[in-house]
Each structure stands twice: as structure tokens, then as C-alpha cells.
């Protein structure tokens, strides 16, 4: 059903993109990307409406009809159950907050089974007095909550491949999630320890078997860093850092060290394996980008995307996610003609700084081949680059911080696949 004639909807860019203000109208409906199941005529009252329901559960679970909405797990080495990742199925979610059970995970040494009663965080190094904190001690400090995204530095790394990778959007771009995190402001603990004037770095170490370690500039961490204890209102899940983790809003996920056991104040970085052999980017000049902290402005269309199909010509909703470690998303533009023309999408409120922001735009597809793209702009004026521009700047020898425009090809049958445009 359509609330008004397709032809009456104003196109504002090539390929049939519609004015974003159509979302303010009442009664507008879109053609579904996937066909809805038919309802049989003459059916009686369904069973769930004619008998008592299930009893209470001590911990709520998703409906069994939603069991297909799961993370996709991949291992980096065969037989190494702890070195790999679990991708968030961003194409199956709505809103901007990620359920705890679907939050992405990236681990190098598996998830340690930590007894919180025995775990300690030590603040030491270039401080006037070293301090140790148990979980109960930290919970007595004033807490702060913030909604921010976390993104693995290697998210979207398939974009560096010479040919486009044909996978569901969540299995390429799903190493990003957004939560409300609550914990103790890092600055409080540092002030109590008394940071010496010579200190300019924090070396954070986790309690996993590999002792995952990252160095962070003190100035970057002090103002808005958290020692997080809660995620979306409940205690951290083990795979996301229980019983405590460092949280650095807007920065690559690896510096938000999980299972945090040590914060060492220093006058130089540790130059650990994870900031020399890993999490660096070799440039065409032979030099390397190192200590790249902030995640750049980025967006991706989640519907329609790889593997989905359009059900013939009609008016569709194009929707996706945008984010930037530099602040708030100011604008997202969408193209249906491979970047020849662009139309501004509607941003779903609230558009918060360093959070996932959902965008939507109507699109009248005429059944002809099309290439869909999105381009985000953040409040600092940073614009998401084309793939050609990003490769020209940084080459293809790197692995991290890929944030180029993503393009989806729609063929005459409505099938959607990845393309470089």
C-alpha cells in the first residue's frame, strides 16, 4: 500500500531519491525490501490469544522467532578459539543502541574468567603514590554515564582488498556497536594518585593471558576517559571486559583495554607488540602511521545491502548508520547514481556526539540498475572520502582505519551486491 502516488513524491537527486521531508508526512509507507509472509484468510483466533502465556523468567531472552539475529563469529587462526571476532548484525537492528548480547567482540587471547573479588586495578608509575582499587572500592566513587560507539580499528578492513568482498554488511562493517557505559571518571583516579609533571602517556594493561597492552596519550585519556563497570545498565559482560575496562570515547576499540588491571603513568609509550607490529599502518612512502587514536567519520547503508533483494519497482526506504570519533554527525547524503548527485537524508533523533546515528531517505526505484552510496559529514566538517581518495592517500598496505564510502550495486532483478562503483 502507498499513501500517495509514487509520481507525486518529489525527487531531489538523480536515480529517484526523494526529499527527506517525506518522513514528516503521515501515512507514507514503503515497499518492503523482503517480501512479507501472506496471511491466510478465514483463520480463527491464534493459539497465543486463547490460552495462558509463559511464566516469568529470571532473565529475559529474545523471542525464539528472532533466533536468527546473531553475531557472526570468525577465528583468525584455525583451532584458536580465543583469537578472532564476533560481528554485530547491524543490518538486523534498529535504533542506535546495541544489545549487550550482540555487541561486537574482538579478542586476542580469549575471555578470561575473572573472579571480581580477587581482581585489582593498580595506578602506578609516574605518580606521587601508587594506588590499588578493587571493584567494590571503585563503586564507591562518583560515576558518570555516556552513550558512545566502540569500533575496532580493523572494522571494514575488507575495503582495502583489490576486489569488493561479497559478504553481509554486518560481516564487513559490524565491528562497531553503541552502548551506554557507566563508570568512574579516569581523571578522578589520576588526581587521587597525583600525576607527576613528566608523565605524558598512560600504558594500560589487561588481565587476559596475553597481557594485552596499549599506550594512550595522557591528554587524550584524562578528560573523558572512564573506568567502565556497567554497559547498558548491567555489569559488563565477560567478553566485553568484566569486571572493569578502560573506555576512551571516539578512539579505536583496542585502546579501551578490557579486563583492566594496570594503568602505568609514563613519559613515553611502551612500544608494545600491539602498537608496533599491530595497529600501525604502512604508507606508500615506507613510513607508518602509529598511535592513530580517533576513528574517522564514516557511514554505511544497511538496507538495502549485500544479499538483500528489492521486490520490483516501487518506493523504498534506504537506511543506515553514521558515526565519527570527532563528534556529532551533522549530515548524511545518499546517492542512487554512483555519486553523480546527492540528496540529504533525514537523521533520526537524537544525533549524539560520538554515537551511532541512524539516517533514512525515500527512494523511488524504477527497476533499472542503480548504485547506492552514503556520505557522512561530522560537526568538525570532516567528510567521508571516496575509496579512490583514501587509497591514493594511504595506499593498500594498511589494514586499519578504513572509512571510505561504501557502494551497493542494485541490478535489474533487485539483487544487491557490493561494488567499488
Give average pLDDT by consecutive 10-residue segment, the chain, 421 residues: 53 84 61 62 80 93 94 77 90 97 94 97 98 97 97 96 95 98 98 98 96 95 95 98 98 97 97 88 85 96 96 96 98 97 96 97 96 98 97 88 97 96 77
> Which pLDDT score is estimated for 1?
28
CATH 2.60.40.650 positions along the chain are: 298-419
> Which pLDDT score is estimated for 307?
92
| Cβ atoms of residues 94 and 360 within 8 Å | no
Asked whether the whole model's pTM tops 0.85, one would answer: yes
> Which pLDDT score is estimated for 40?
60
| Cβ atoms of residues 378 and 330 within 8 Å | yes
| CATH architecture classification, 121-289 | Alpha-Beta Complex (3.90)
* Residues forming beta bridges with residue 378, ordered by sequence position: 329
State which CATH number among 3.40.50.2000, 2.60.40.650, 1.10.10.10, 3.40.50.620 fits the domain covering 298-419.
2.60.40.650
Cα R_g (the chain), whole angstroms: 23
> Which pLDDT score is estimated for 281?
84
Cα→Cα distances 333→7, 347, 372, Å: 22, 10, 11
> Which pLDDT score is estimated for 10?
75
Stated as kind and residue range, the H or E segment containing 377 is: strand 370-378
Q: How many CB atoms lie within 10 A of CB 308?
A: 19
Contacts of 206 (CB under 8 A, 6+ apart): 212, 213, 257, 258, 259, 260, 261
Strands 201-206 and 260-266: antiparallel
**In 3D, which of 63, 195, 104, 164 has the Cα closest to residue 420?**
164
CATH 3.90.420.10 positions along the chain are: 121-289
> Which pLDDT score is estimated for 2?
38
Residue ranges in 212-339 assigned as alpha helix (H): 218-222
**Would you state the cell numbers that stand for residue 178, as one nine-digit string?**
553503541
Amino acid at each position: 500500500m502507498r499513501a500517495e502516488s509514487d509520481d507525486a513524491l518529489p525527487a531531489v537527486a538523480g536515480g529517484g531519491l526523494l526529499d527527506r521531508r517525506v518522513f514528516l508526512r503521515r501515512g507514507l509507507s514503503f515497499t518492503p525490501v523482503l517480501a512479507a509472509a501472506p496471511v491466510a484468510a478465514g483463520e480463527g483466533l491464534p493459539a497465543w490469544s486463547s490460552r495462558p502465556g509463559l511464566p516469568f523468567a529470571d532473565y529475559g531472552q529474545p523471542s525464539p522467532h528472532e533466533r536468527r539475529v546473531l553475531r557472526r563469529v570468525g577465528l583468525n587462526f584455525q583451532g584458536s578459539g580465543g583469537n578472532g571476532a564476533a560481528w554485530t548484525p547491524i543490518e538486523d537492528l534498529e535504533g542506535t543502541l546495541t544489545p549487550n548480547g550482540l555487541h561486537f567482540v574482538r579478542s586476542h587471547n580469549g575471555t578470561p574468567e575473572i573472579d571480581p573479588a580477587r581482581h585489582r586495578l593498580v595506578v602506578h608509575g609516574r605518580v606521587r603514590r601508587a594506588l590499588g582499587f578493587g571493584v567494590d572500592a571503585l563503586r564507591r566513587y562518583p560515576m558518570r554515564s555516556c552513550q558512545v560507539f566502540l569500533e575496532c580499528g580493523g572494522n571494514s578492513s575488507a575495503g582495502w582488498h583489490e576486489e569488493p568482498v561479497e559478504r553481509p554488511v554486518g560481516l564487513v562493517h559490524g565491528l562497531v556497536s553503541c552502548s551506554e557505559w557507566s563508570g568512574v571518571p579516569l581523571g578522578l583516579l589520576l588526581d587521587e594518585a597525583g600525576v607527576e609533571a613528566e608523565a605524558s602517556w598512560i600504558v594500560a594493561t589487561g588481565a587476559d593471558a596475553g597481557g594485552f597492552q596499549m599506550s594512550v596519550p595522557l591528554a587524550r585519556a584524562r578528560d573523558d576517559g572512564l573506568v567502565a563497570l556497567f554497559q547498558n545498565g548491567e555489569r559488563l559482560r565477560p567478553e566485553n571486559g568484566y569486571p572493569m575496562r578502560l573506555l576512551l570515547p571516539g578512539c579505536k576499540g583496542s585502546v579501551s583495554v578490557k579486563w583492566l588491571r594496570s594503568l602505568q603513568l609514563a613519559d613515553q609509550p611502551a612500544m608494545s607488540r600491539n602498537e608496533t607490529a599491530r595497529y600501525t599502518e604502512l604508507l606508500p612512502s615506507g613510513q607508518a602511521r602509529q598511535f592513530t587514536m580517533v576513528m574517522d567519520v564514516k557511514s554505511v547503508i544497511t538496507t538495502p545491502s549485500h544479499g538483500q533483494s528489492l521486490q520490483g519497482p516501487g518506493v523504498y526506504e534506504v537506511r543506515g548508520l553514521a558515526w565519527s570519533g570527532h563528534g556529532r554527525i551533522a549530515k548524511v547524503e545518499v546517492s542512487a547514481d554512483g555519486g553523480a548527485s546527492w540528496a540529504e537524508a533525514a537523521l533520526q533523533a537524537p544525533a549524539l556526539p560520538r554515537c551511532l546515528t541512524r539516517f533514512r531517505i525515500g527512494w523511488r526505484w524504477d527497476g533499472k540498475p542503480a548504485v547506492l552510496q552514503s556520505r557522512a559529514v561530522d560537526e568538525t566538517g570532516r567528510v567521508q572520502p571516496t575509496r579512490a581518495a583514501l587509497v591514493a592517500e594511504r595506499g593498500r598496505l594498511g589494514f586499519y582505519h578504513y572509512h571510505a564510502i561504501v557502494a551497493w550495486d542494485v541490478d535489474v532483478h533487485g539483487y544487491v551486491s557490493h561494488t567499488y562503483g
